[in-house]
Amino acid sequence: MKPWLLLFALACAPAAPTVATAPAVAPTTTAVAPASPEPRAAGPRVVFLGDSLTAGLGLAVDDAFPAQLGRALAAEGLPATIVNAGVSGDTSAGGLRRLDWLLGQKPDILVLGLGANDMLRGLPPADCAANLRAIVDKARAAGADVLLLGMRANPTLGPDYVAAFDAIYPALAAPPGVTLVPFLLEGVAGEPALNQADGLHPTAEGHARITALVLPALTPLVRGRSGG
């Protein structure tokens, strides 16, 4: 299976409740947040803003890669408060609409994994880039470091679209204060053993592979915010 086929379902996936260590989204959104946030842990607050991949569609919340990253960081002596604000089917515009409320969580680090659904719906890359740029700029202005999780375009959309979309993430990561993981599904997309029965969404093992990919980029950010 080609990597873009795994991405195809992201635009069509049903919205799923978000479960996090603190309220992940404003009450006006379709996601469900806990009634009472747990106390903030000693480590930095890391907010994951994304779609069904971040939400862990089809899995227990503890199996999604944000939770797996939290455990991996703790094992390295870097505890962090992990807030999973992933909403299945979300776009860059939806993420931007939710951002102000999420910034009220006072994140130290924002992990941004949006844009795949914009591409799958054929939305203009320039609009996606503008939305993601606004998210990055607002997060940095609020004092958060940004970790950007890159995506790749469906090749059937044509070379011009692919070139424009694929250029978004490296351009956003150019300024200081933004770290890039070039392709979130590297080594997972198209691997049957790492995807659920639908062939589209990663299994817990697939999320473990994503965790291994993201951890080296996230660890120094958490360490920097931990004073270590």
- Residues with active-site annotation: 52, 198, 201
For residue 114, give the nearest of 171, 66, 166, 50 by alpha carbon.
50
Beta carbons within 8 Å of 37's beta carbon, 6+ residues apart = 21, 22, 23
Q: Residue type at 163? A: A
Query: With contact defined as beta carbons under 8 Å apart, do 117 and 153 qualify?
Result: no
Q: What is the length of the chain?
A: 228
> Hey, what are 48's tokens?
């994951």
φ/ψ (deg, to 5) at 160: -65, -45
